[in-house]
Amino acid sequence: MREQNSLPPKLPDRVLNWFLKDDLLEEISGDLYEYYMELGDIPEWKKKLFYCYHLINFLRPFALKKLEGRQKLNNYGMFKNYFKVGFRNILKYKMFSFINVFGLAVAMSVCMLIILMLADQKSYDQFHENKERVYRILGTPYVGSVPYATVPVPLSDAIKDRYPIIEKSTSLRKGVGGDAIYKNQIADLKGYFADDSFFEVLSFPLISGNKNSALSLPNSVVISKDKANQLFKDENPVGRHIQFEDRGLRVLDIDGDADSSVDWGTFTITGIVDNDAIKSHLKFDILMSISTLNRLQEDSLIVDNSQKWDAYQSAFSYILLKDEVSRSELKDALKNLSERQYSDLEDLSEYSFSSQKLTDITPGIIVANEDSFRLPELPYFVLSMFASIIMIMACLNYVNLSVAKSLSRMKEIGVRKVNGATRKNLMFQFLLESILTALLALVISTFILFFLKEAFMNLWVNKYLNFDLNVTVSVYLVFTAFALLVGMIAGIYPALFISRRKPVNALKSQIEEKKGKWGIRKVLSVSQFVFSLLFIVTSIVIYNQFKFFTEFEYGFDSENIVNVHLHGNDHELISTEFSSVPGVKNISACEYIPATGVTNLISLVDKRNEDEVIEMLHQKVSETFIDNLGLSLVAGKGLTTSASDDELTIINESAVNKLGFENPEEAIGSIWKTRENSSLKIVGVVRDFRATLLISGDEIQPMLMTSDPENFNFLNVKVSGENPMRVVSELEERWKKLDSRHRFKYEFYQNELDNTNLVVFDVVSVIGYISFLSILIACLGLLGMAIYTTERKTKEVGIRKVLGAAEMNIVLILSKSFMKLLLISVLIAAPLSFVVNKLWLDNFPNRVDFGFGTVVIGSLLMLGLGLLTIGSQTIRAARQNPVESLKDE
Amino acid sequence: MGKEHLGEFEELILLLIILLKDEAYGLAIRRALKEEANRTVTIGAVHGTVNRLEKKGFIESNLGGASELRGGRRKRLFTITTAGKSILEKSRDAKVALWGKIPELSVQNMKG
């Protein structure tokens, strides 16, 4: 019955060994052994279970090992003491704690904002089932170009047919955007043509409809849930028919500038996508089945580029790789494909494909022709760098102050060491204190973050970047981990430094204040101020640049000009109506508004060398344009309706040079051919004016203006300076009479120009805030040091005063070392900030003048703040009644 | 020591230790508890109680009697002390006295 078959399990015995008192171990393990053997013929696992049950039952006070003494099973008492002492210290030195906690908190809030931004961006496109295997194909038109998110339409099918590593592919052709009409409801929809593998490659949530067939038949559309609600209210949309009128709206358009509408016929709703439930880089309200294209192309409603490999701006392509296919195989396939398709194409012989993993799109590398606005990686790097600098500065404050403060805790350290605390224990204690401080800072920084988030969302760019900065539980966990990390980083040096003290010296309060120790602290402080000055100067420079841009002389008169979008209406008709409005002084028309970001190009055949073309900006304007915008004619005359076959044109002075004429007069009358072989006759030359964005280049580009009423998109209405808004509202009345369909869309030209510079202002805001924080933290650190020094020197000050020193002298004595520190910082940072700013500014178009003046202003600002900080402490100390400081001895 | 209180379970175990004579060790007491008093407890509970009894001075112990059955480990054998005996007697006397004061219950009990 009791064979040697099974012995009690080993592991539980070891556990017993660990917790049981040594003198009880033998009898109890013996009893348990015997018990186990007696259990008899029941299954092994049951035996073990019973055994363990009885074993665990020995977790009773009488049987457990003692908590103290040689066996350190539990350091509860020690931890409790650490916490207690930690909290007491935080409360005892309120000013120091405030400086530390507040400094860390502001710095952490910036880091947390960036964590939030990244967390939001990282959550994009996580909902796709096969997200690990889906790639977007990018196309790079020539070596050195940024990759384009768009590719030619035929790519998607070609790659799937030719390369077996591709499981599926889908193509989104651009070009759907207009009004959907159902009964009396109208909704504007922007989106793409998509094929029936769309839902197989990408997992957009289709809440009704069949995902296998939704996009197969011609004239079927899938629309987004919110647009469906707008159109159909309570009805079930699937199976209903809508009328679609294309207006040329594009997904990226923000306010819907569009052409006149073209009827595309009737479509059937085959599915509803819930786009609000997911976060994707791909945004659309409508997907139209790609088979619809045949009909639209036959009716010439849309250009057929289904086989055009050179139309590389027309589609997005996503592929699903087969399982276990490596990225390099995909790379090879793409390389092979681009060589096959493009080596013969003259203009695009360098064209190459590359791939981008679906989850790497947001946040990702800079890509041209994106389908949605988002920040590329670069700004995150820059922002993270700034945030790290701020964070390091705050940590340095902690290091500085803790090390300085540790002198007053020497006795405590000594006593602990004498009582047997090891160096490890002490390090742990001080790390715990820094972590406590960091956690306190975490609480405060979440409050700061709340306001910071608001401010950040109010930046101009955030109108286009849909950041969702809600704090979720997981983000809070990241924050806490971050705070712990900060606590450890900030605390490691003080912990090492403090725990090194010899107990005897510590008990005697003998301060081992070697020169070197102060040296490190000074270096840290100086580096803080160096960074602060760098930031201050940079933000002043960028602000100056911003002001310079807003006051820029464009070379034309934008005052009191209201630009009105024509929405495809005949410009003559609207002009005639508008010109009768009182207060309207002049009206002209043009294709696009100069200097607001849009340009068109034209290529002229070079007369000197027939193989070459000359590229120029091309603007289509009415006869009154030159007069209306206050452009001055240098030679020739204005545009008139052409009498001959040649189209008449006016060029600017830069174009005169570009075309190889010595002076404007020579150019008049010459005839040039365009690449499309129409001829242009130059009739006038205008003085140069800016037609491109200020940041897009230094030089004024050669420009050519023709009159082509077909292509006018805007009216430039010059209104009288008095009460322009009344004129505008009158214009709106007139507009409604002529076009009831489109909204009256207008913009004051001056505002439009100012808006182009708002992004610069955003940069000013960000850098400005960073420099504010850095100087704040640096000054807090300085304040802490000043408080500490003056406190320690109270007696000295008292004695000096008794002996007759003047307040001024005492202030100077106390401040001397700090002032030296500030001066050294300025000496290092001033040339540095000059050079750094010069470097980037030199590559900046239309830059503002930058000289030492700006650096001096920045330096004075910093010195002023620094002196104020020091002064607040030293003056107080100098004014103190010596009786107060000397009486207790 | 006379003030020490004796719990019901403690009393039971004291009695069993006397009963078991030379073989009174943890597991044997547990076995006897099952057989004589029909009570099943964990081994830990027995050890906890004898530990307490020893602290109170009612029992003494010495190690001995290692055997193959126990993996070569010795047992702690318990014997009752004079203090233990006297507290048992005291406890019994007190109860007998109480029973004597409630004749109706004892008569009823006898009948039943």
The number of beta carbons lying within 10 Å of the beta carbon of residue A539 is: 21
Q: Is the pLDDT of residue A25 over 50?
A: yes
Q: Is the pLDDT of residue A69 over 60?
A: no
Backbone φ, ψ for residue A395 (5° rounding) = -65, -40
Residues of A in contact with B48 (CB under 8 A): 60, 62-63
The secondary structure of A454-494 as a DSSP string is HHHHTSGGGGTS-------HHHHHHHHHHHHHHHHHHHHHH
pLDDT at A485: 93
Q: Is the pLDDT of residue A650 over 60?
A: yes
State the first-to-last Cα distance of chain A, in angstroms, to the nearest integer.
88
Whole-number Cα distances in Å, A191 to A280, A389, A425, B75: 14, 42, 64, 85
Question: Mean pLDDT throughout A793-819?
Answer: 88
CB contact under 8 A, B75 and A30: yes
Q: Is the pLDDT of residue A665 over 80?
A: yes
Question: How is residue A609 written in tokens?
Answer: 């060398």
Question: Choosing among B34, B76, B77, B78, which should be mutated to test the A contact, i.e. which has the most A CBs within 10 A?
Answer: B76
CB contact under 8 A, A62 and B52: yes
Q: Is the pLDDT of residue A644 over 70?
A: no
CB contact under 8 A, A30 and B66: yes
- Note the pLDDT tens digit of each residue in A519-575: 777 888 888 889 889 988 988 888 888 888 888 888 888 888 999 888 778 888 888
Quote the radius of gyration of chain B (alpha carbons, Å).
16
**Nearest chain B residue (CA) to A37:** B69
Q: Which residue has the tokens 């037609």?
A: A691
Residue A251 CA, distance from chain mean position: 21
Q: What percent of chain A has pLDDT over 90?
A: 11
Who among B52, B69, B73 is closest to A26 (CB)? B73
The A residues from 31 to 50 touching B (CB cutoff 8 Å) are: 31-35, 37
Q: Is B40 on the interface with A (CB under 8 A)?
A: no
pLDDT at A510: 57
CB contact under 8 A, A53 and B42: yes
pLDDT at A1: 40
Q: Which residue has the tokens 């013996």?
A: A30
Whole-number Cα distances in Å, A399 to A419, A488, A511: 26, 11, 18
**A267 neighbors A220 (Cβ within 8 angstroms):** yes
**B13 neighbors B36 (Cβ within 8 angstroms):** no
Q: Is A57 on the interface with B (CB under 8 A)?
A: yes
CA distance A74 to chain B (A): 23
**Alpha carbons B71 and A28: distance in angstroms, whole number:** 12
CB contact under 8 A, B66 and A37: no
Question: Mean pLDDT throughout A740-755?
Answer: 82
**B86 neighbors B3 (Cβ within 8 angstroms):** no
8-state DSSP, A148: B
Q: Which positions ≥6 away from A791 have C-beta within 8 Å?
A: none
Residues of B in contact with A64 (CB under 8 A): none
Can you list the alpha helix ranges (DSSP code H) found in A233-376? 292-298, 327-342
CB burial of A18-43 (b: ≥16 within 10 Å; e: otherwise) equals eebeeebebbbbbbbbbbbbebeeee
Chain mean pLDDT for chain A: 84
**Alpha carbons A208 and A2: distance in angstroms, whole number:** 69
Which residues on neighbouring strands pair with residue A185, listed in sequence order? A182
Task: Assign 3-state DSSP to chain B and report helix, strand, coil percentages, each to 5.
Answer: 65, 10, 25
- Note the pLDDT tens digit of each residue in A322-372: 888 888 888 888 888 888 888 777 777 788 898 999 888 888 888 887 777
Who among B42, B44, B69 is closest to A34 (CB)? B69
Q: Is A601 left (phi over 0), alpha (psi -120 to 50) or beta?
A: beta
Q: Which one-letter amino acid corresponds to residue A183?
A: K
pLDDT at A643: 59
Q: Is the pLDDT of residue A55 over 80?
A: yes
**Alpha carbons A36 and A48: distance in angstroms, whole number:** 8
CB contact under 8 A, B76 and A29: no
CB contact under 8 A, B74 and A57: no
Q: Is A452 left (phi over 0), alpha (psi -120 to 50) or beta?
A: alpha
CA distance B61 to chain A (A): 11
Residues of A in contact with B42 (CB under 8 A): 53-54, 57
**Alpha carbons A769 and A772: distance in angstroms, whole number:** 5
Strand A601-605 and strand A613-620: pairing? antiparallel
CB contact under 8 A, A27 and B43: no
pLDDT at B2: 47
Total CB pairs under 8 A between chain A and B: 67
Q: Which residue has the tokens 């193509």?
A: A171
**Alpha carbons A334 and A214: distance in angstroms, whole number:** 30
Backbone φ, ψ for residue A745 (5° rounding) = -110, 115
Question: Mean pLDDT throughout A659-687?
Answer: 85
CB contact under 8 A, B70 and A60: no
**Alpha carbons A368 and A381: distance in angstroms, whole number:** 19
CB contact under 8 A, B75 and A27: yes
Residue A426: Cβ-neighbour burial (10 angstroms; 0-12, 13-18, 19+): buried
- Note the pLDDT tens digit of each residue in A159-183: 888 888 989 899 898 888 888 888 8
Question: Choosing among B67, B70, B76, which should be mutated to test the A contact, i.e. which has the most A CBs within 10 A?
Answer: B70
Who among B25, B63, B73 is closest to A29 (CB)? B73
**Nearest chain B residue (CA) to A53:** B42
**Alpha carbons A414 and A694: distance in angstroms, whole number:** 66
Q: Is the pLDDT of residue A652 over 50?
A: yes
Residues of A in contact with B32 (CB under 8 A): none
Q: What percent of chain A has pLDDT over 70?
A: 95
pLDDT at A37: 84
pLDDT at A859: 92
**B17 neighbors B29 (Cβ within 8 angstroms):** yes
**A246 neighbors A260 (Cβ within 8 angstroms):** no
| Cis ω for the linkage preceding A363 (within 30 of 0) | yes
Residue whose C-alpha is closest to residue A101's, from A402, A479, A453: A402
Helices A571-579 and A724-738: crossing angle in degrees, nearest 10, is 130
**A263 neighbors A212 (Cβ within 8 angstroms):** no
CB contact under 8 A, B63 and A33: no
**Minimum mean pLDDT range among A62-66, A268-272, A672-676:** A62-66
**Alpha carbons A29 and A9: distance in angstroms, whole number:** 12
8-state DSSP, A611: T
CB contact under 8 A, A31 and B47: yes
Residues of A in contact with B70 (CB under 8 A): 30-31, 33-34
Question: Mean pLDDT throughout B86-111?
Answer: 79
Residue whose C-alpha is closest to residue A415's, from A81, A71, A88, A96: A81
Who among A24, A26, A37 is closest to B69 (CB)? A37
Pairwise pLDDT comparison (A513 vs A795), residue with the higher score: A795
Question: How is residue A492 written in tokens?
Answer: 């490691």
**Alpha carbons A690 and A448: distance in angstroms, whole number:** 43
pLDDT at A605: 84
Can you list the alpha helix ranges (DSSP code H) found in B24-102? 26-37, 43-56, 82-101
**Alpha carbons A107 and A390: distance in angstroms, whole number:** 6
The B residues from 64 to 103 touching A (CB cutoff 8 Å) are: 66, 69-71, 73-76
**Alpha carbons B82 and A355: distance in angstroms, whole number:** 92
CA distance B47 to chain A (A): 8
pLDDT at A391: 92
CB contact under 8 A, B27 and A31: yes
CA distance B94 to chain A (A): 30
**A695 neighbors A843 (Cβ within 8 angstroms):** no
Who among A2, A24, A33 is closest to B71 (CB)? A33
- Note the pLDDT tens digit of each residue in B7-56: 889 999 999 999 988 888 888 999 999 988 888 888 889 998 998 898 88
Q: Which one-letter amino acid corresponds to residue A287?
A: L
Q: Which residue has the tokens 């996503």?
A: A318
**A448 neighbors A517 (Cβ within 8 angstroms):** no
Q: Which positions ≥6 away from A737 have C-beta within 8 Å?
A: A577
CB contact under 8 A, A33 and B69: yes
CB contact under 8 A, B74 and A30: yes
Which residues on neighbouring strands pair with residue A584, listed in sequence order? A719
**A29 neighbors B47 (Cβ within 8 angstroms):** no
Question: How is residue A804 written in tokens?
Answer: 């007759």
Question: How is residue A752 written in tokens?
Answer: 């439009």
pLDDT at A723: 84
**A204 neighbors A316 (Cβ within 8 angstroms):** no
**A26 neighbors B73 (Cβ within 8 angstroms):** yes
CA distance A21 to chain B (A): 12
Q: Which residue has the tokens 């204040």?
A: A513
- Note the pLDDT tens digit of each residue in A561-593: 999 888 778 888 888 888 888 888 889 998 888
Task: Assign 3-state DSSP to chain A and report helix, strand, coil percentages, each to 5.
Answer: 50, 15, 35
- Note the pLDDT tens digit of each residue in A462-485: 877 778 888 888 888 999 999 999
**Nearest chain A residue (CA) to B66:** A30
**Alpha carbons A521 and A786: distance in angstroms, whole number:** 13
**Alpha carbons A294 and A308: distance in angstroms, whole number:** 15
Q: Which one-letter amino acid corresponds to residue A206?
A: L
